C-alpha cells in the first residue's frame, strides 16, 4: 500500500520559518550558509525576511555576503528598504556593493540617501562606475534617461562580424550580466545607425561588415521621453528593450520593458499612498517612528481644519437640527454617499490623465460626460435614501429633503470630482495628493448645507 504523498504544507511545517533560518545564520556567522540561503530563498521572500531582522542583524548578515551577493539582495528589495540598509554601511563597503549593481539600480538606490551620503559613496566607487552614476543622475527618474541601463553592446558600423565575436569572447565574463538581445551599431560620431540581432550575428560570415547586415534606422526614443509615453509604446510594441538616444542622436543606453513596467507599478503604489494621505511617497514600517508619524500627521492635521470648516455649516443650522433630530442620522449618509460618487470621478480623471486620454483643456468634454452620469446616479440614490427616510418616519417631506439633498450633492460631487484633477494638473500640482481632500470638504459642506437649508424651508412640515 502506497504511503500518502507529503503536501507542501507538511514539508513547510517540518522546516523553520525563513527568517528564523536567517537569524541562525547571523548568529553563527557562516558565510557559506548565507550565500546558500539567498540562493535557495523563494522569489519575493527576501524583503519579508529582511524586515524581520533588527538593523544590527541586517548589517551582520550583509557582512557575511560577498559584494556580488549583497548587490543582488539590494536589487531585489524595495528601494526604500535597500536604501535604509545601505545608509548604515560605511561609504567604502557601500561603494563595493553598488559597484556590482546594474546602472539603473545604482542611481535609484543612491536616490534614497541624502546628498552627503550618496556623494560619499560615489567618491569611493571605481572611477568609471562613478562617472556613469553621475551621468545617469542628471535625468528625471521617470524618464527614459532615468530608467535606462548603460550595459549594452555597441560597435562601429565599419567593424566586422569577426571583430564583434572576438570582443564577446575576450570579455565573456563581463558580458554575461548584460542580458544581451541586440547589438547596437553606431557611426564614428557615436550616433545610433542600426541594430543587429545576436542570432543573426552568430550565423553571418566572419568578414561581413556590420553596416551590410544591420537593420538600419531602428526605432529609438529620446532620453527625455516620459514614463507615460514609454508605457504607451511598450503596450503597442512587443519588444524587450528600446535604444535611447540624446538630442545629438548619440546612443546613451537601453530602456527595458521590465523596467518600464516596474516603474509604472511603483508610480501606481505611490499614487495610492497619496490618495490615502501618506505624504512623502513610499512608507515601510521599518522606517523610524518619527518619519512615519510626520508623514501621516502632515495630512491628518490638514484634514482636521477641513472637517472643522464642514462642521461649521451644522452650527449655522443648530436650531433646525434640534427641531428635527432625524436629520442628524442622514447628514453623514448624504455627505459620504456623495463623496464616494465624487471619488469615482476623481479616479477616472486621474487615470485618464496618466494614460494621456485627456488634458486639462478638455474640461468641458469631461464635464459634459459626467453631468449626465451624475444626474442619473443622483436621482437613483436620492430616491433610495429618500424612500428609506419616508418609511422610517412616515413623513414624505423628510424623504423629499433627504432625497433631494443627496441627488443634488451627488450631481455636484460627480462633476467636481471629474474636474478637480484637471484643474490641479493645469496648475502643475499632483491630482492624487490634493483632489481627495478638496472634494471631501466640498461634499461635506454642500451636503450639510443642502439638507439643513431644505429642512429649514420645510420645517413646519417636518415637525
Q: What is the pLDDT of residue 159?
A: 95
Q: Is the predicted pLDDT of residue 162 greater than 60, yes or no?
A: yes
Q: Which helix (H) or strand (E) element contains residue 366?
A: helix 363-393
Query: Bridge-partner residues for 185, per DSSP?
Result: 155, 194
Q: Do 414 and 345 meet the contact criterion of CB atoms below 8 Å apart?
A: yes
Q: Do 414 and 373 meet the contact criterion of CB atoms below 8 Å apart?
A: yes
Q: Is the predicted pLDDT of residue 390 greater than 60, yes or no?
A: yes
Q: Is the predicted pLDDT of residue 444 greater than 80, yes or no?
A: yes
pLDDT digits (tens, 9 = 90+) for 110-129: 988 988 999 999 999 999 89
For residues 426-439, give the mean pLDDT: 78
User: Among 272, 269, 274, which residue's Cα sits nearest to residue 434?
Assistant: 274
> Which band of pLDDT confidence, cut at 50, 70 and 90, is reported for residue 432?
low
Q: What is the pLDDT of residue 9?
A: 43
**DSSP symbol at 251:** E
Q: Is the predicted pLDDT of residue 1 greater than 50, yes or no?
A: no
Helices vs. strands in the chain: H and E counts, helices first: 24, 7
Q: Is the predicted pLDDT of residue 423 greater than 90, yes or no?
A: yes
DSSP-derived secondary structure for 9-70: HHHHHHS--HHHHHHHHHHHT-HHHHHHHHHHSPTT-HHHHHHHS-HHHHHHHHHHS-HHHH
Q: Which helix (H) or strand (E) element contains residue 245?
A: strand 241-245
Instruction: Classify residue 424 by burial, with Cβ atoms within 10 Å: 0-12, 13-18, 19+.
Output: buried
Q: Is the predicted pLDDT of residue 246 greater than 90, yes or no?
A: yes
Q: Do 97 and 74 meet the contact criterion of CB atoms below 8 Å apart?
A: yes
User: Among 117, 118, 108, 122, which residue's Cα sits nearest to residue 78?
Assistant: 108
**Percent of the chain at pLDDT exceeding 90:** 48
Reading the block at residue 300, the C-alpha cell is: 491628518
Q: Is the predicted pLDDT of residue 369 greater than 90, yes or no?
A: yes
CA distance 112 to 121: 13
Q: How many CB atoms lie within 10 A of CB 374?
A: 27
3-state secondary structure of 197: strand
Radius of gyration over alpha carbons of the chain, in Å? 30
pLDDT digits (tens, 9 = 90+) for 295-322: 666 666 777 777 787 788 888 888 888 8
Q: Taking phi first (over 0 means left), then psi (-120 to 50 degrees means alpha), and beta for anything else, what does residue 214 get? A: beta
pLDDT digits (tens, 9 = 90+) for 182-233: 899 999 999 999 999 888 888 899 899 999 999 999 999 999 999 989 999 9
Q: What is the pLDDT of residue 398?
A: 95
**If you search the block for the grid coordinates 432625524, which residue do you land on?**
326
Q: Which helix (H) or strand (E) element contains residue 195?
A: strand 192-197
**If you search the block for the grid coordinates 470638504, which residue do you land on?**
441
DSSP-derived secondary structure for 240-299: SEEEEE-TT-BEEEEEEHHHHHHHHHHHHHHHHHHHTT-TTS---TTS-HHHHHHHHHHH
CA distance 132 to 103: 8
pLDDT digits (tens, 9 = 90+) for 130-144: 999 999 989 998 899
DSSP-derived secondary structure for 106-168: HHHHHTTS-HHHHHHHHHHS-HHHHHHHHHHHTS-TTBHHHH-B----EEETT-BHHHHHHHH
Q: Is the predicted pLDDT of residue 385 greater than 50, yes or no?
A: yes
Per the prediction, the chain carries an average pLDDT of: 86
Q: Do 177 and 160 meet the contact criterion of CB atoms below 8 Å apart?
A: no
181 Cβ contact list (under 8 Å, min separation 6): 197, 198, 240, 241
CA distance 67 to 101: 9
**End-to-end Cα, the chain, rounded Å:** 82
3-state secondary structure of 201: helix
Q: Is the predicted pLDDT of residue 3 greater than 50, yes or no?
A: no
Q: Is the predicted pLDDT of residue 7 greater than 50, yes or no?
A: no
Q: What is the pLDDT of residue 272?
A: 59
Q: Is the predicted pLDDT of residue 274 greater than 80, yes or no?
A: no
Q: Which of 177-181, 236-240, 398-402 has the lowest mean pLDDT?
A: 177-181
Determine how β-strand 182-186 pairs with β-strand 192-197: antiparallel
> Which band of pLDDT confidence, cut at 50, 70 and 90, is reported for residue 146?
very high
**If you search the block for the grid coordinates 553606431, which residue do you land on?**
186
Q: Is the predicted pLDDT of residue 12 greater than 80, yes or no?
A: no
- Cα dihedral 426/430/434/436 (nearest 10): 100
Q: What is the pLDDT of residue 280?
A: 56
Q: Is the predicted pLDDT of residue 258 greater than 50, yes or no?
A: yes
**If you search the block for the grid coordinates 508605457, which residue do you land on?**
231
Q: Which of 50-54, 207-211, 340-344, 345-349 has the lowest mean pLDDT?
A: 50-54
User: Among 320, 321, 323, 462, which residue's Cα sits nearest to residue 398?
Assistant: 462
375 Cβ contact list (under 8 Å, min separation 6): 411
**DSSP symbol at 250:** B
Instruction: Classify residue 325 by burial, with Cβ atoms within 10 Å: 0-12, 13-18, 19+.
Output: exposed
**DSSP symbol at 189:** T
> Which band of pLDDT confidence, cut at 50, 70 and 90, is reported for residue 281?
low
User: Widest CA span of the chain, in angstroms?
Assistant: 100
Q: How many CB atoms lie within 10 A of CB 337?
A: 22
Q: What is the pLDDT of residue 300?
A: 65
> Which band of pLDDT confidence, cut at 50, 70 and 90, is reported for residue 2?
very low
Amino acid at each position: 500500500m502506497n504511503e500518502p504523498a507529503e503536501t507542501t504544507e507538511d514539508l513547510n511545517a517540518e522546516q523553520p520559518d525563513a527568517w528564523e533560518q536567517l537569524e541562525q545564520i547571523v548568529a553563527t556567522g557562516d558565510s557559506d550558509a548565507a550565500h546558500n540561503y539567498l540562493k535557495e530563498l523563494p522569489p519575493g521572500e527576501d524583503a519579508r525576511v529582511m524586515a524581520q531582522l533588527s538593523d544590527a542583524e541586517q548589517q551582520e548578515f550583509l557582512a557575511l555576503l560577498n559584494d556580488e551577493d549583497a548587490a543582488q539582495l539590494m536589487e531585489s528589495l524595495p528601494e526604500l528598504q535597500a536604501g535604509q540598509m545601505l545608509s548604515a554601511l560605511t561609504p567604502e563597503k557601500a561603494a563595493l556593493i553598488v559597484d556590482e549593481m546594474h546602472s539603473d539600480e545604482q542611481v535609484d538606490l543612491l536616490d534614497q540617501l541624502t546628498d552627503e551620503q550618496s556623494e560619499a559613496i560615489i567618491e569611493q566607487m571605481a572611477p568609471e562606475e562613478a562617472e556613469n552614476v553621475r551621468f545617469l543622475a542628471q535625468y528625471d527618474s521617470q524618464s527614459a534617461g532615468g530608467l535606462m541601463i548603460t550595459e549594452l553592446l555597441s560597435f562601429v558600423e565599419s567593424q566586422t562580424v569577426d571583430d564583434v565575436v572576438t570582443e564577446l569572447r575576450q570579455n565573456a565574463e563581463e558580458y554575461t550580466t548584460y542580458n544581451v538581445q541586440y547589438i547596437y551599431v553606431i557611426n564614428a560620431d557615436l550616433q545610433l545607425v542600426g541594430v543587429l540581432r545576436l542570432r543573426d550575428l552568430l550565423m553571418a560570415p566572419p568578414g561581413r561588415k556590420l553596416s551590410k547586415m544591420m537593420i538600419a534606422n531602428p526605432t529609438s526614443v529620446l532620453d527625455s521621453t516620459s514614463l507615460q509615453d514609454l508605457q504607451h509604446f511598450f503596450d503597442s510594441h512587443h519588444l524587450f528593450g528600446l535604444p535611447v538616444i540624446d538630442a545629438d542622436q548619440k546612443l546613451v543606453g537601453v530602456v527595458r520593458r521590465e523596467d518600464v513596467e516596474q516603474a509604472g507599478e511603483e508610480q501606481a503604489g505611490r499614487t495610492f499612498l497619496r490618495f490615502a494621505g501618506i505624504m512623502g511617497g513610499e512608507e515601510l514600517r521599518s522606517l523610524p517612528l518619527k518619519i512615519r508619524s510626520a508623514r501621516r500627521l502632515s495630512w491628518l492635521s490638514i484634514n482636521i481644519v477641513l472637517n472643522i470648516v464642514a462642521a461649521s455649516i451644522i452650527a449655522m443650522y443648530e436650531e433646525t437640527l434640534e427641531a428635527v433630530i432625524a436629520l442628524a442620522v442622514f447628514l453623514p449618509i448624504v455627505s459620504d454617499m456623495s463623496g464616494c460618487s465624487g471619488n469615482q470621478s476623481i479616479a477616472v480623471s486621474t487615470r485618464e490623465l496618466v494614460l494621456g486620454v485627456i488634458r486639462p483643456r478638455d474640461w468641458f468634454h469631461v464635464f459634459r460626460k459626467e453631468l449626465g452620469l451624475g444626474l442619473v446616479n443622483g436621482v437613483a440614490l436620492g430616491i433610495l435614501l429618500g424612500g428609506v427616510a419616508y418609511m422610517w418616519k412616515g413623513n414624505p417631506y423628510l424623504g423629499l429633503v433627504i432625497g433631494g439633498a443627496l441627488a443634488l450633492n451627488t450631481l455636484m460631487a460627480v462633476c467636481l470630482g471629474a474636474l478637480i484633477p484637471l484643474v490641479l494638473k493645469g496648475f502643475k500640482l499632483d491630482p492624487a495628493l490634493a483632489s481627495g481632500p478638496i472634494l471631501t470638504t466640498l461634499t461635506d459642506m454642500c451636503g450639510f448645507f443642502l439638507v439643513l437649508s431644505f429642512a429649514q424651508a420645510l420645517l413646519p412640515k417636518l415637525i
